[in-house]
Amino acid sequence: MTSLTGTVALTRFILRRDRIRILVWIVPLVVLAALTVVGIKGVFPTQAALDQTAAATQHNAAAIAFNGAPQGLDTIGGQVAFQFGAIGMVLVALMSIFMLGRLTRGEEEAGRLEVVRSLPVGIHANTLAAVLTVAAMNLAVGVLITAALIAQGLPAAGSVVFGVSFILVGLVFGGVTLLVAQVTESTRVVYGVAGAVVGAAFLLRAVGDIGDGTVSWFSPIGVAQKARPFADERWWPLLLLVAAAVLLVAAAAALAVRRDLGAGLVAARPGPPAAAPSLGHPLGLAFRLQRGSLFGWGAGVLVIGIAYGWIGPTVDTFIGQNQALAQLLTGAGGGSLTDLYFATSFRVLALLAMGFAIQSAVRVRSEETSMRADLVLATPVSRWRFAASHLAVACVGSVILLAVAGLATGLSYGLAGGDMQSVPRLLEAALVYAPAMWIMVGLAIALDGLVPRWVGVSWALLVACLVVGFLGAVLDLPGWLQDLSPFQQVPRLPAASLTLLPLVAMSAIAAGLTLLGLLSLRRRDIGRI
């Protein structure tokens, strides 16, 4: 097959070039899975403890919405699948999206693929090499997770189903990425659209699991959970994922031969011959450049907020009249189960807003490495103004996203049968995350100023916040480590009361980091250092 000539050489090239990046994705995923088992064993030392939590979780709509349908929860394996399954599959989906997006459309957009394609290399060779690499990564994650679970004494059948479901979810989202990469010309848009599909998958699963489970079948993550690892395993739902992955890759391949290198299926349209008045200062430029991604993240936050609000009234009905159970679930901290549910909802929504904040803040660096910053800085625009403009969009934009999250959740909750008086409370519960956003923006620019090469670490910090936020308790991470996450310092409104001190302190730290970053940026060389 001449269309595949060179695949082997290109695959080896990718493995060599991206070996660090590949390990940075695989190792933490596997370690997290292994640590979850250790943590669960510690949290539930006896069968009685497992039985108790399994009974309670049946009535905990919040836990079901975020983790999945309760199945096999009276076993260690079932708990591991419940606690780590959904979030782990989101991570493995993101791994496929970012790796495959970079290796296909990213290479093409950068013009590097053009050079490769001018060599005696087949039309599909680079794509296939990328797919093979990402498939191998998913395989490694699945096999290693299975091995880690079996090594800690969990049943083999469940461990294998659990591991295989990771592989297949990764492959399905790889297929989604590949398909989107054919349609659009921008790598950023590829990440955005494929990321939105992950969000939709997470959401459909939540809606389905809260209800009778039907809707979950439309989500790859939901389908994977239908294989019921550590409950009564069944293999056939996994075949659906295999079929989906094959279809997606085939569709992408069919589209790939119909388009030119570097082009999408949608041709660029002409635009205005002159600039709007707003495009006349650095802030206007920064907003114009990030408008699209603000709307993209905004749409995601809006939809998820509406869905979470809509589920809200169900949470209390799940538990019915059983006051003792309510006491058990909410713990000593007080607050209603619904409040606890919303507190967790805003953690998820705030993570999305933080995604936008980081994306905007690291833009300062990508403008520099693309040499576009040279052109702006060669005009009478100071480095300070150039960077601060992007940071302003990051700081204000992420707060707007939080407001959208709070309002969407609140209004939808009210309309679904909750009470409209909750809207201001829920808006407040979302907005308290603002200082956490600013800290991340500050960290990103401080990295940019001091060690520009390491700006990408900002994204790793986002994943760390995600992990600490959702697995911190289960993993039994040391308290000081958890406290490092800005998310842990945010009062968990509406379940907890508002305390200003941590918010003020975080804002001050954020301001300090931003100042440090901007000052360092003024002192160093500009360019691809």
Partner 1 sequence: MPVAISTAGLIKNFGSTRALDGLDLSVDTGEVHGFLGPNGSGKTTTIRVLLGLLRADSGEVELLGQDPWRDAVELHRRLAYVPGEVSLWPSLTGGEVIDLFGRLRGDLDRHRRDELLQRFLLDPTRKTGTYSKGNRQKVALVAALASNAELLLLDEPTSGLDPLMEAVFQDCIREVKAEGRTVLLSSHILAEVEALCDRLSIIRLGRTVERGSLDELRHLTRTSITAETVRPAQGLADLEGIHDLEIDGAHVRFEVDTDHLDPAVRRLGELGVRSLVSHPPTLEELFLRHYGDELAQEPERADPERDTTPLPRP
Binding site for partner 1 (CB under 8 A): 185-186, 268-276, 279-282, 285, 288-289, 292, 370-372, 374-382, 525-529
| 494 prior amide bond cis, ω within 30 | yes
Q: In angstroms, what is the minimal distance from the CB of 277 to partner 1?
A: 9
Amino acid letter, 74: D
Give alpha helix (H) positions in 152-281: 156-183, 187-210, 220-225, 236-256
Nearer to partner 1, 49 or 375 (CB): 375
Nearer to partner 1, 78 or 282 (CB): 282
Q: How many angstroms separate the CA atoms of 338 and 208, rounded? A: 19
Q: How many angstroms separate the CA atoms of 185 and 179, rounded? A: 12
Is the sign of the CA dihedral 170, 32, 456, 459 positive or negative?
positive
Nearer to partner 1, 3 or 186 (CB): 186
Which tokens go with 217? 């079948």
Q: In angstroms, what is the minimal distance from the CB of 279 to partner 1?
A: 5
Closest CA to 41 of 87, 89, 83, 85: 83
Q: What is the DSSP string of 121-137?
A: --TTHHHHHHHHHHHHH
Q: In angstroms, what is the minimal distance from the CB of 104 to partner 1?
A: 17
Q: In angstroms, what is the minimal distance from the CB of 376 to partner 1?
A: 7
- Count CB atoms within 10 A of the CB of residue 42: 11
Nearer to partner 1, 276 or 501 (CB): 276
Q: How many angstroms separate the CA atoms of 509 and 516, rounded? A: 10
Nearer to partner 1, 259 or 288 (CB): 288
Q: How many angstroms separate the CA atoms of 431 and 398, rounded? A: 10
Task: Give the CA radius of gyration of the chain.
Answer: 24
Q: In angstroms, what is the minimal distance from the CB of 301 to partner 1?
A: 22
Nearer to partner 1, 231 or 294 (CB): 294
Nearer to partner 1, 38 or 526 (CB): 526
**Helices and strands of the chain, counted as H and E runs:** 24, 0
Q: In angstroms, what is the minimal distance from the CB of 407 to partner 1?
A: 29
Q: How many angstroms separate the CA atoms of 337 and 353, rounded? A: 24
Q: In angstroms, what is the minimal distance from the CB of 451 to partner 1?
A: 15
Nearer to partner 1, 48 or 276 (CB): 276
Q: In angstroms, what is the minimal distance from the CB of 310 to partner 1?
A: 35
Contacts of 493 (CB under 8 A, 6+ apart): 343, 346, 425, 428, 429, 432
Q: In angstroms, what is the minimal distance from the CB of 294 to partner 1?
A: 14
Nearer to partner 1, 278 or 327 (CB): 278
Closest CA to 169 of 240, 78, 98: 240
Closest CA to 329 of 81, 58, 27: 58
Nearer to partner 1, 212 or 525 (CB): 525
Q: In angstroms, what is the minimal distance from the CB of 447 to partner 1?
A: 20
Using CB atoms within 10 Å of the CB of residue 99, give its burial: 0 to 12 exposed, 13 to 18 middle, 19+ buried. buried
